[in-house]
Amino acid sequence: MPTLEEIRAFFAADRFATETVGVEIVAAEPGHAVCALRLGPGHRNAAGMPQGGAVFTLADFCFAVSANAFSDRISVSMQHDITYLTASRGSVLYADSRCVRCGRTTCFYTVEVTDDLGVHVAHMTVNGFVTEKKIEKHENSH
């Protein structure tokens, strides 16, 4: 199984989420991941609240990690449903993605977004497609 550092190195190729937005992988295990986003001025909308696109990117990236970090085939999202529950007043957002079901060609995940104050910020569901494309990563893992 890949280590957390190997998973982080693989997903560093998602430069939009990791470099532009600043999402970090906190934890990963098969079918589950936790990611974090330290909020800065560039993540806020004109009203000073975290921008919906930043929250969405955090949740979507966390889904990608939970669906792909331990898989041998690439899963991609087909459909997202996100409900923004309230604006965060905290300084860090956390996404917690969990597999509800993964079959031969489709998967279904939930992602909960909270902040460092314990506020439930957003709820996302993701319908994914499990492709035939093999993931080539973690060359040193077994």
| Residue 24 belongs to some domain of the structure | yes
Structure tokens at 40: 């800065």
Q: What pTM, to 2 d.p., does this model score?
A: 0.93
| Residue 140 belongs to some domain of the structure | no
Can you give the residue range of the structural domain that contains 69? Answer: 4-134
- CATH number (domain holding residue 122): 3.10.129.10
Angle (deg, nearest 10), helices 4-11 and 52-68: 120
| Residue 57 belongs to some domain of the structure | yes
| Residue 110 belongs to some domain of the structure | yes
Q: Render pLDDT for 86-142 as a digit per residue (tens, 0 to 9).
A: 999 999 999 999 999 999 999 999 999 999 999 999 999 999 999 998 887 644 443
Domain count for the chain: 1
| Residue 139 belongs to some domain of the structure | no
Instruction: Name the residue type at position 34.
Output: V
